[in-house]
Structure 1
């Protein structure tokens, strides 16, 4: 520190309480104690990205607004539009298909925008990040969304053939498609526009019984039609929507696909629903990394991948925890709710068959709990990460750093396997606990005892949680170990302490959620219990995951170069996370409102 800076014009010392002050906001090149090799490194540090390079100094025109529009498209698609589409689909809203088609057009416009921007770069021979994978990921996204849209149209067309525009349930048998002969025009598509339950003609595989089956289905359709008509006429906008749907469903190819391949397209649609959301999240992360030239030079890409993949996993786990609090997965008892599924609930009066879901057949009388999924993923992560931690090695030798990371993978392997075994032991206990709660609810509300026939009719009984501590145990020790993971950079070490502490703080709250459920058992079937401790657990997981992603070398260096401290990024991250959590809760509030409105209409 130059002492002359603390003197006035006459050379007299100026009183200062603390000489030197602090380094908050001081770029690293302004640090007085940099060593020569450190100064050389930071003087060569390149901050050029796709977002800030000077596009005016090239021969051919480059318009970065195309990049900005694409960034806006992919961000709003991931955070706003696609979650709303999931909400509309989960509530069987009639506007879902039209919104899905509109969303597809929005995505195509964003993809055309980035294609134009890439062509502008190519004309000027600009390659800021050679051989990056973002273009390939764009094509994969278009493919996924195209298949998803086609399968959605076929699936909705199948439901239209079965129930017209009155389908609000997945509990139907596809064999009903074959109950009306092709020449049966007694129920035509005009009823669809009146919000009735129509049925277009389908193939018959019933031989001599097709006539009686047709009459059965027609009576069922007429009943639904009368119920729908009693609710009043649709407004003009809804009528135009239904006319569009009728036109699409009557396309010969769509009709044939729905009649012959309905099961396949329904499976594809359901499989892609949440898969696309996860892919969009990964797509945003890859776009952020490539747009900011992270992962270069090539040997540093594994450090980036390790932090962003693992941090992303904790973010997803936290979002799922918050969604469970809001009621996500209540049909599978994932929403901290008592779930009682009866065999009689899956009986179809038209076909005379029980349409029992596949997951019920696979996982038995206590169902599949979210805790089972968590410990399975922990086990899977541990079994694969033993080999992945060695990818960054250039000479094939195991370093002390590799072994330190592999030791954590062994923790996941052992804890995950132990958790799976605990879930096996918990199966009967969960069933008995749920049945006991069910008996108490019936006794309190209906003042009677449950008969043996009612007990035998129960397919799945789940109290909404599993007393399995291995998931929180693993996350707790991950946080403790990583908070002690010293780095070469002081800021990096401090950031590791931040996210490690957040994970270790969040784990006890999950245990408190289990204790809460024991102390306050469900008093209603199928209603989310909402233990308040899950809000804090979800916050710690999401915030810990985001700061985990920030602890990669490339982000730390970007912070140090600009003079950002670990406390500045911590405050920003925590504020950002609470905004994201607010948006998720708003989505679920809107979903509940939409469900109640549709039931009342």
Structure 2
């Protein structure tokens, strides 16, 4: 499961971001309230606080007394839709399950009801956050997901989705190179020598399939009458989607109407007007939304929290972006880490397992290479943004401190990528390899140069080291208030703990490297994911405006800490449940017997 990786409980995670805003934290509010959309990417890490006193705290939706029930209903519905229903629909969609459409429509219904409540609330309350981005972003996300559901509906009615849709083209290529015996070809010509055989294949089908049944050459999406086969839609459907007998059975299981129904005929007519290339683009867009919908929802939720508390107005947008973007990255890294423990990306060898043999033989990066590349990219781009909050002013020691952190990210990320490069490692072995050429005969040389077992698995502590150093530095970072210092120390300690846990994972792996393609699931990775997720949320809460909001509501740092710990535990459980549901859906659609459960990872 790539993804993706990647469950949506992520939306709830920001609930901890604002202990003072706990009811709102659950608000995905993609349509309701409003937020500043000026995302100029300054990355000032300081928790500088605005000049306003707590007594002069501006009016906001959190303290607005009117229509509280309407706002709570909006929040509750958005949590239900975006945190529970949408992740479930995404898992079913990735599994190409028959339950995809029902859950997708359930999400649209819940989301539409939430939009209705937010519209009512906006109409009856003053605009306390003018020109916010939450309102606009919410509508964009809603329409994107509505378009995805429309493609899903049309594709299933027209037969574009089946169990093997994602592998259709690659399967067709493989079939084209299958060896065929002369006897099989003779039998094929005997079956297709009738002058009527042309009526049973598409005009773009050469008729050179290897199946003995003529039905296997038909498209599973359209009937085989001459009129239908002559239509462009039938031809393009044959080009785009695979056409074996399993798919004919699979389509019967999908949530489609009867073939003779008016709705299906209407969908078929629409499908006949869509070219093969257009279908490819639509399905590509569908898959992209599948894998990014949770991130879009997370961003919309964050903007909802910002709007609810009226944070990051004016120049405070820079420090707000710095903390919330970086904290969000750590939160999602924690989700990714827990997904690896569950078995996600096991086909790439990222699930603490031996990478399965690939038929394509293509190179795929290790998980540590991806982490190092992200660290390097972040440092390389962020180094130009550290001074943006004080643009035009002089450079302070604090600016140089932040620049040094980005340099650490650049150097650490580059070092991590070099360590993961097999070419670099081979070059590093040159000296000892040359010595073996001189000191050993041919038989001994082969044994002497045999790679250690640890070469089969990546053990790269550099990404963990970078996070460890960041946690240590920021937990000691000087702040302008006691609460701000405590919050920074909290997330710094959590990131430090996550780094130590990752180090223990490498120790376990070094002592006993994985020998199976099944996930080894080191228990220390559970600690790593918890530290990253909780640390990321509290990182977001350490921004200046957020701390000021806590002070205004008479909340201390431990309130934020304890609420975050509880929510992250729930989020981790929800992610594991979602990935397990996806595994169940895949087995159900592909007909895997329960007795074979030991052969499949979660």
TM-score norm. by structure 1 comes to: 0.69
Q: 1:45 aligns with which of 57, 60, 76?
A: 57
In structure 2, do the counterparts of structure 1 residues 290 and 417 end up closer, same or farther at CA, with 3 Å as the change threshold? same
Comparing 172-181 with 99-108, which one deviates more in the overlay?
Answer: 172-181
Is 1:181 the counterpart of 2:202? The answer is: yes
Encode CA deviations 1:571-590: one digit per residue, 9 max, x unaligned. 22112211111111122233
Checking the alignment, whether the CA contact within 8 Å between 1:325 and 1:535 is kept in structure 2 is: yes
Greater relative CO (CA pairs within 8 A, separation 6+):
2
Checking the alignment, whether the CA contact within 8 Å between 2:157 and 2:264 is kept in structure 1 is: no
In structure 2, do the counterparts of structure 1 residues 379 and 244 end up closer, same or farther at CA, with 3 Å as the change threshold? farther
In 2, the alpha carbon distance for the partners of 1:243 and 1:106 equals: 32
Q: CA deviation at 1:428?
A: 7.5
The residue number in structure 2 matching 1:506 is 498
Encode CA deviations 1:197-238: one digit per residue, 9 max, x unaligned. 9341577899xxx9xx99xx87x43x665x779xxx97xx96
In 1, the alpha carbon distance for the partners of 2:549 and 2:265 equals: 51
Q: CA deviation at 1:339?
A: 2.4
In 2, the alpha carbon distance for the partners of 1:466 and 1:310 equals: 26
In 1, the alpha carbon distance for the partners of 2:111 and 2:82 equals: 11
In structure 2, do the counterparts of structure 1 residues 419 and 342 end up closer, same or farther at CA, with 3 Å as the change threshold? closer
Q: 1:552 aligns with which of 530, 540, 543?
A: 543
Checking the alignment, whether the CA contact within 8 Å between 2:353 and 2:519 is kept in structure 1 is: yes
Secondary structure of the 1:590 match is helix
In 2, the alpha carbon distance for the partners of 1:327 and 1:420 equals: 23
The residue number in structure 2 matching 1:72 is 76
In structure 2, do the counterparts of structure 1 residues 228 and 580 end up closer, same or farther at CA, with 3 Å as the change threshold? closer
In 1, the alpha carbon distance for the partners of 2:547 and 2:109 equals: 38
In structure 2, do the counterparts of structure 1 residues 384 and 248 end up closer, same or farther at CA, with 3 Å as the change threshold? farther
5+ residue gaps, structure 2 = 1-49, 174-197, 206-217, 427-453, 594-602
The residue number in structure 1 matching 2:220 is 198
Secondary structure of the 1:340 match is coil
The residue number in structure 2 matching 1:531 is 522
The residue number in structure 2 matching 1:454 is none
The residue number in structure 1 matching 2:320 is 304
In structure 2, do the counterparts of structure 1 residues 171 and 294 end up closer, same or farther at CA, with 3 Å as the change threshold? same
Q: CA deviation at 1:545?
A: 0.8
In 1, the alpha carbon distance for the partners of 2:90 and 2:269 equals: 28
In structure 2, do the counterparts of structure 1 residues 157 and 386 end up closer, same or farther at CA, with 3 Å as the change threshold? farther
Secondary structure of the 1:531 match is coil
In 1, the alpha carbon distance for the partners of 2:286 and 2:89 equals: 13
In 1, the alpha carbon distance for the partners of 2:123 and 2:265 equals: 36
Checking the alignment, whether the CA contact within 8 Å between 1:333 and 1:339 is kept in structure 2 is: yes
Checking the alignment, whether the CA contact within 8 Å between 1:336 and 1:529 is kept in structure 2 is: yes
The residue number in structure 2 matching 1:406 is 403
Q: 1:580 aligns with which of 571, 577, 584?
A: 571
Q: 1:322 aligns with which of 323, 338, 354?
A: 338
Checking the alignment, whether the CA contact within 8 Å between 1:197 and 1:228 is kept in structure 2 is: no
In 1, the alpha carbon distance for the partners of 2:51 and 2:250 equals: 75
Encode CA deviations 1:399-436: one digit per residue, 9 max, x unaligned. 3322221211111111112222222237878xxxxxxx
Q: How many residues align?
A: 471
Q: CA deviation at 1:175?
A: 9.7
Secondary structure of the 2:356 match is strand
Secondary structure of the 1:508 match is helix
The residue number in structure 2 matching 1:470 is 462
Encode CA deviations 1:452-475: one digit per residue, 9 max, x unaligned. xxxxxxxxxx99952222211110
In structure 2, do the counterparts of structure 1 residues 329 and 86 end up closer, same or farther at CA, with 3 Å as the change threshold? farther
Q: CA deviation at 1:135?
A: 1.6
Is 1:483 the counterpart of 2:475? The answer is: yes
Secondary structure of the 2:581 match is helix
The residue number in structure 1 matching 2:106 is 102
Checking the alignment, whether the CA contact within 8 Å between 1:132 and 1:290 is kept in structure 2 is: yes
The residue number in structure 2 matching 1:592 is 583
In 2, the alpha carbon distance for the partners of 1:488 and 1:109 equals: 43
Is 1:541 the counterpart of 2:532? The answer is: yes
Q: CA deviation at 1:42?
A: 3.2
Secondary structure of the 1:247 match is helix
In structure 2, do the counterparts of structure 1 residues 308 and 242 end up closer, same or farther at CA, with 3 Å as the change threshold? farther
Encode CA deviations 1:352-372: one digit per residue, 9 max, x unaligned. xxxx5xxx75xx2xx122212
In structure 2, do the counterparts of structure 1 residues 92 and 248 end up closer, same or farther at CA, with 3 Å as the change threshold? farther
In structure 2, do the counterparts of structure 1 residues 392 and 512 end up closer, same or farther at CA, with 3 Å as the change threshold? same
Q: 1:252 aligns with which of 245, 269, 283?
A: 269
The residue number in structure 2 matching 1:149 is 149
In structure 2, do the counterparts of structure 1 residues 256 and 333 end up closer, same or farther at CA, with 3 Å as the change threshold? farther
In 2, the alpha carbon distance for the partners of 1:244 and 1:65 equals: 44
In 2, the alpha carbon distance for the partners of 1:378 and 1:478 equals: 12
Greater Cα radius of gyration, structure 1 or 2: 1
Encode CA deviations 1:558-599: one digit per residue, 9 max, x unaligned. 333343332232222112211111111122233333334443
Please show how residues 22-33 of structure 1 align to structure 2 within 5 Å: none
In structure 2, do the counterparts of structure 1 residues 593 and 426 end up closer, same or farther at CA, with 3 Å as the change threshold? farther
Please show how residues 104-143 of structure 1 align to structure 2 within 5 Å: 104-121=108-125, 126-143=126-143
The residue number in structure 2 matching 1:277 is 294
Please show how residues 324-363 of structure 1 align to structure 2 within 5 Å: 324-343=340-359, 361=362
In 2, the alpha carbon distance for the partners of 1:482 and 1:389 equals: 15
In 1, the alpha carbon distance for the partners of 2:575 and 2:379 equals: 30
